[in-house]
Amino acid sequence: MNNSVSVDGLNALLWTLTSVAILLSIGRFAIRFATAGRFHLDDASHLLSVFLLVGLAAAYTHGFPYSARIARIGRKEEQPPPLTDPFYHKYLQLRLTVTLLVFMVLWSVKATFLIFYRLLFDVSRAFIRMWWVAVALTFATFWVCIGSTFTLCGSASDLYDFKKCSSPEALHDIRATYKYWCALNVGTDLVVIGLPLYMIYGLQLRTTHKAILAGVFSLGLAVAIVDILRTVESLQSGTFSGVALWSSLEVTVAVIVASLPLYRVLLTPKGRKNLRSRLSGERRLSGERYKNVDSSPTSMEKKFLKAQSLPGQPSVSTYRDDLETQDSEFSKHGRPTQQVPLAHVSR
């Protein structure tokens, strides 16, 4: 990676990508509320990832100059200050903060997908068993990564000792830690991605429909690929601009990817029609309520309110056309129809 990328350029790229992630997240929440009339636990998890991303971007912005100076000192382009200089302590503090926030963003995105898949396939006992295994694995790997962050320089007491953190032994251990961080992150990504793919494989759908759904559920592969590239950049060249660039890409792409599945409703004519129908229905009901503030609910209102107040979870309107199968479609082939185990949550 070229060292010519400036701190200002990295900040501009970071905040541009963060802004894109925020805007797509706002659209995600708008689509969810328009289609479901309420928010769900996966929305809360996604909102947490957005707040963490903003905090991480601020930490990156504050830390980039320190990392750039460390890089210049390493290339002997700048005379290093004495080890007693508070600069080193501040640099190590920022490095710890950024590392912890990166893990929090990435694992909150995993949680968003896991919660959504649980809501979508909630009535499948086999899926629920696999889901709990994936949750346990994801939870365990998160705390392994968090815990190992405090022992990068050996013992936790040496965390802010720059001399020990820059020793050959510590640098060797840090490189090894980067490798298993990557393995844990990518491994859990693959586990999370594999959960819905297992369910899709058993559905009686056209191959093209299965491929589309598999593509939607496999968006997390983009995050895994970026993490691998970032780790390779860190181990091979270790340049400040290269590592900073791939690190910025990884966290912002993760939040963006978590927003995209909801936008699928806008990609099909039927999905757009259903969304417009829901929005127009709500506007008509709002108008009726405004005109009849003191009157009893109309029949249309009663139907709408009944649909909104049904027990359980709202309909998965975005994916139901792909995931539900009709008995009549397959009866002519002499095959039993698989009833898709879906809980009701709009996406």
pLDDT given at position 308: 42
Measured over the CA atoms of residue 250, residue 254, residue 256 and residue 260, the dihedral's sign is positive
pTM of the model: 0.79
pLDDT given at position 280: 67
Nearest in space to 195 (alpha carbons), one of 174, 220, 178, 171: 220
Report CA 142 to chain centroid distance, whole Å: 14
> Hey, what are 142's tokens?
């998160």
Calpha distance 340→324 (Å, rounded):
6
* Sequential pLDDT tens for the chain (347 residues): 444 578 898 999 999 999 999 999 999 999 998 888 889 999 999 999 999 999 999 999 999 999 888 888 888 888 999 988 999 999 999 999 999 999 999 999 999 999 999 988 887 788 899 999 999 999 999 999 999 999 888 888 888 888 888 888 888 888 899 999 999 999 999 999 988 887 877 777 777 777 777 887 888 888 999 999 888 888 886 667 778 888 889 999 999 999 988 887 777 666 667 777 766 655 554 445 444 444 444 444 444 434 444 444 433 444 444 344 333 343 344 443 444 433 333 33
pLDDT given at position 238: 60
pLDDT given at position 237: 66
